[in-house]
Amino acid sequence: EVQLVESGGGLVKPGGSLRLSCAASGFTFSTYSMNWVRQAPGKGLEWVSYISSTSTYIYYVDSVKGRFTISRDNAKNSLYLQMNSLRAEDTAVYYCARDAPVDLTGSPYYFDYWGQGTLVTVSS
């Protein structure tokens, strides 16, 4: 059974940092691209970042470029999101989502499995 379990969320002050983790199990993590998607309270979904299976291709939404860094450790079956210079508008539930195994072109496709999410609150 595919499982994605996020952790690392919490309350942080504006300008602070946080590192999210996503522990994957039930599939060969090293062969799948992964994504982070966020959802502000009561709002819709916003894609944040993508990383290919070997970390060759990495993309971000414009609003987090230069502040967030996605990474992965295939030996530990884990995905990460380092978030720096946090702002109030980064407050959201952050989901990790598995990219569908379509091909190896290094582009995100649709997301076939999602974690339960971890809440990040940026407030003074």
Partner 1 sequence: DIVMTQSPDSLAVSLGERATINCKSSQSVLYSSKNKNYLAWYQQKPGQPPKLLIYWASTRESGVPDRFSGSGSGTDFTLTISSLQAEDVAVYYCHQYYSRVTFGQGTRLEIK
Give the interface with partner 1 as residue ranges (CB under 8 A). 35, 37, 44-47, 50, 59, 61, 95, 100, 107-112, 114-117
**Among residues 5 and 16, whose Cβ is nearest to partner 1?**
5
Q: Output the smallest distance, CB 80 to partner 1, in A.
A: 19
Q: Output the smallest distance, CB 32 to partner 1, in A.
A: 14
How are strands ordered across the β-sheet holding 78-83?
3-7, 18-25, 78-83, 68-73
96 forms beta bridges with: 36
Per-position DSSP letters for 44-104, written without gaps between them: -EEEEEEE-TTS--EEE-GGGTTTEEEEEEGGGTEEEEEE-S--GGG-EEEEEEEEP---S
DSSP, res 30: G
Q: Output the smallest distance, CB 72 to partner 1, in A.
A: 18
**Among residues 24 and 37, whose Cβ is nearest to partner 1?**
37
**Among residues 11 and 102, whose Cβ is nearest to partner 1?**
102
Q: Are 79 and 72 in contact (CB under 8 A)?
A: yes
**Among residues 17 and 56, whose Cβ is nearest to partner 1?**
56
Q: Output the smallest distance, CB 47 to partner 1, in A.
A: 4
